[in-house]
Structure 1
Amino acid sequence: MEIKLGVSTWLWSSPFTTETIALFPKIKEMGYEIVEIPVEDPALIDVKKVKEALDIYDLDVTICGAFGPSRDFTNDDSSYHNTSFEYIKSCLAICNDLGASFFAGPMYSAVGKARLVSAEQKKIEWDRAVTNLQKVCKLAAAQGLDIALEPLNRFESDLVNTAEDALLLIKDINNPAAKMLLDGFHMNIEEPDIVKAITLAGDKLIHLQVSENYRGTPGTGQTRWDDYKLGLEAIDYKGAVCIESFTPNVKELAGAVCIWKPLAESQDRFARDGFKFLKKWAANTTN
């Protein structure tokens, strides 16, 4: 399986700033071809300096978003929608400046918005997400970009939890720029059948994030990596596979994702061992 492997800078730090490019030589030395940049605050990023660093270390880039409480396309208050639009516009500009082909994340709603609501309320919020994401897709398509919508587990979202949910959202958005990102951590909670979920996503799947079932180093947990391989091969997947996990050393981020203790001996060890495992997995020599 010919894929490029990447790693999110969230594994080491948060938020991403211009100074975070200090991680790039290490990421390259470990063998990664892609660095995933999570944009929490666009104002913290000097895209010219980041682009220079990407070029120096010959790294491709993917860009994903962070959708906290103020970035919520489903909120009753339209000011939240405006905040989301302004943020996404900035992120699309970063994608263009750094050479990314899509902007990824759970941009349909605020992360952590997980409630038991009536079918009527859910329909209202779903329709708001569709209407707003139709506008986002027009913005992205006009710049030659796609968006990759990410399902989240039930503890982080009550709107889009599975590949099937994401496909329904994409269908309702009805714009070719609307694509999908799948994250193995969320899939291991929500998907009864990993192969079926990936094949269902099909050509809409343009990005895959991975970690172990407990957010740890790939290859150290209960994840059915064989099923991921079967699914990706079935759809002739050509996108990247990027490790996304987090450090307990950044308290605000660790609290948001409920990581209360180290998941590896060190974050460097996490990244290095994860790369080695995924390289063998992609080459079908894990056994």
Structure 2
Amino acid sequence: MTQQMKSCITISLVEEARGGPFVLWDGLEKSIRYASQLGFDAVEIFSEGAESLDTDLLGKLLDAEGLKLAALGTGAGWVKHGLQLADADAAQRDRAKRFVRDLIDVGGALGAATIIGSMQGRSDDRVSSSLARGYLCEALQDGGEHAVKYGVPLLYEPLNRYETNQCNTVADGVEIIESLSNNNVKLLCDLFHMNIEEVDIADALVCGGKHVGHIHFVDSNRRPAGCGHLQFGPIMAALGQIDYAGYLCAEALPWPDSAEAAQQTMRAIHYWTRQ
């Protein structure tokens, strides 16, 4: 089944996040052109928010290069705007949900999913763990329902313990998704986070099963696949076992630079999808 998987690479348009785990950084047009030249099927874009993206222009740039938009990240909601879905303040939670819905409108118009990762927030001395989990589920319910009109899912990403105390494992993510009353929220399984939190990455992917909707294809140290110590054979076998046919997306550090990181990712995807 691995031959059905598609390749994807990340583009960041958020200067405040420079140095973070996104491969391409040098503007939308240049990055899309380079992704196409390397043979990627799609891009995942990390932007400042919906207002910073021109849907028509983005569609034209992608069409011109024969690429799809796989997903839009919402992380700038937290990194740039200080918004998170488990905020103690109800008005801030509403702003956060609106930020997500606005990006769903942009991505959905181009057939792309939207990701909730760092915006999920965390519990603290103002918000108990049960209350934070409730706020998160409310937001996932809201976003999942909003995305239905576009025929795309909302993607939810468990993060490692150093980034959130909300949800750290695939099993916990499955529990959250199955508690919702809609079936339009899927899991984004990031191999970097999984390397920290899971006992066995392949087993966790099998546990995710039908809920797995997107893969961040990256190595143990957040460098491109093949530049760390992950054993990709069992991981790819697990993805084949669950009939995963979505994107393998490089949300990786631009190591040693963007060009080589992109090229290494494509080499790794070609190798592992042709076994």
- Scaled by the length of structure 1, what TM-score is found? 0.85
Q: Which amino acid aligns with 1:68?
A: W
Indicate which of 233, 238, 246 corresponds to 1:231: 238
Which residue of 2 is the match for residue 197 of structure 1? 204
Rounded to whole Å, the distance in 2 between the matches of 1:205 and 1:39 is 24
Q: CA deviation at 1:127?
A: 1.2
Q: Deviation string for 1:231-279 (max 9, x for gaps)?
A: 10110111110101244xxxxxxxxxxxxxxx31x21011112211221
Q: CA deviation at 1:83?
A: 1.2
1:65 aligns with 2:56: no
Indicate which of 26, 35, 47 corresponds to 2:34: 26
Rounded to whole Å, the distance in 2 between the matches of 1:227 and 1:26 is 30
Which residue of 2 is the match for residue 250 of structure 1? none
Rounded to whole Å, the distance in 2 between the matches of 1:146 and 1:215 is 25
Which residue of 2 is the match for residue 37 of structure 1? 45
Q: Which has the higher contact order (CA 8 A, sep 6+)?
A: 2
Q: CA deviation at 1:133?
A: 2.0
Unaligned runs of 5+ in 1: 248-262
Q: Which amino acid aligns with 1:44?
A: S
Which residue of 2 is the match for residue 5 of structure 1? 7
Q: Which amino acid aligns with 2:74?
A: G
Q: Please give the secondary structure, in 1, of the residue aligned with 2:228.
A: coil
Q: CA deviation at 1:145?
A: 2.4
- Note if contact 2:49-2:74 (Cα within 8 Å) is conserved in structure 1: no
Which residue of 2 is the match for residue 77 of structure 1? 89
Q: Which amino acid aligns with 1:198?
A: L
Rounded to whole Å, the distance in 1 between the matches of 2:227 and 2:196 is 17
Which residue of 2 is the match for residue 267 of structure 1? 258
Which residue of 1 is the match for residue 175 of structure 2? 168
Indicate which of 87, 111, 116 corresponds to 1:99: 111
Q: CA deviation at 1:146?
A: 1.1
Q: Deviation string for 1:153-198 (max 9, x for gaps)?
A: 0000100111011111101223111111100110111111111110
Indicate which of 276, 279, 283 corresponds to 2:270: 279
- Note if contact 1:130-1:173 (Cα within 8 Å) is conserved in structure 2: yes
- Note if contact 2:123-2:132 (Cα within 8 Å) is conserved in structure 1: no
Count of aligned pairs between the two proteins:
259
Indicate which of 122, 147, 154 corresponds to 1:147: 154
- Note if contact 2:111-2:151 (Cα within 8 Å) is conserved in structure 1: no
Rounded to whole Å, the distance in 2 between the matches of 1:114 and 1:22 is 40
- Note if contact 1:199-1:232 (Cα within 8 Å) is conserved in structure 2: yes
Q: Please give the secondary structure, in 1, of the residue aligned with 2:128.
A: helix
Rounded to whole Å, the distance in 1 between the matches of 2:123 and 2:228 is 27
Q: Please give the secondary structure, in 1, of the residue aligned with 2:213.
A: strand
Rounded to whole Å, the distance in 2 between the matches of 1:175 and 1:274 is 34
- Note if contact 1:153-1:189 (Cα within 8 Å) is conserved in structure 2: yes
Unaligned runs of 5+ in 2: 12-21
Q: Please give the secondary structure, in 2, of the residue aligned with 1:91.
A: helix
Rounded to whole Å, the distance in 2 between the matches of 1:171 and 1:34 is 29
- Note if contact 1:114-1:156 (Cα within 8 Å) is conserved in structure 2: no
Runs of 4+ in 1 over 4 A off after TM superposition: none
Rounded to whole Å, the distance in 2 between the matches of 1:177 and 1:161 is 20
- Scaled by the length of structure 2, what TM-score is found? 0.88
- 1:192–1:92 Cα change, 3 Å: same
